[in-house]
Amino acid sequence: MNQLNFQKMSQKELHDYVLAHREDSEAFYAYVDKLHAEGNWIEMPALMSEQDLDNHPEFLEHIRNSSQSQDNVV
């Protein structure tokens, strides 16, 4: 069996692989490590209501931009 090189996979490739091979804990941990290394998320406290989103405009902007880029993918 060929050994996959998770470090050479893109975040998207690794994400897709982990979803297809949920029992592969090595792939899962490689994916989590890649997420931490790339650090492309926004941290914010837990929301108590939908209105709390008004206090985090950068998060809403990130979500809008992410969904627009997803819409453009064919």
Note the pTM of the prediction, 2 decimals: 0.55
In terms of Cβ atoms closer than 10 Å to its own Cβ (0-12, 13-18, 19+), residue 8 is: exposed
Same-domain status, 14 and 36: yes
Domain region containing 61 = 42-74
Q: Which residue has the tokens 């060929």?
A: 2
Same-domain status, 47 and 35: no
Give the Cα separation of 39 and 48 in Å (integer). Answer: 25
Q: pLDDT (tens digit, 9 = 90+) per residue, 31-73?
A: 999 988 987 776 777 888 888 888 878 888 888 887 776 555 4
Which distant-in-sequence residues (6+ apart) come within 8 Å of 9 by Cβ? 17, 30
pLDDT, position 74: 45
Give me the number of domains the chain comprises. Answer: 2
Which pLDDT band holds residue 1 (cuts at 50, 70, 90)? very low
Same-domain status, 4 and 37: yes
Q: pLDDT (tens digit, 9 = 90+) per residue, 9-32?
A: 999 999 999 999 999 999 999 999
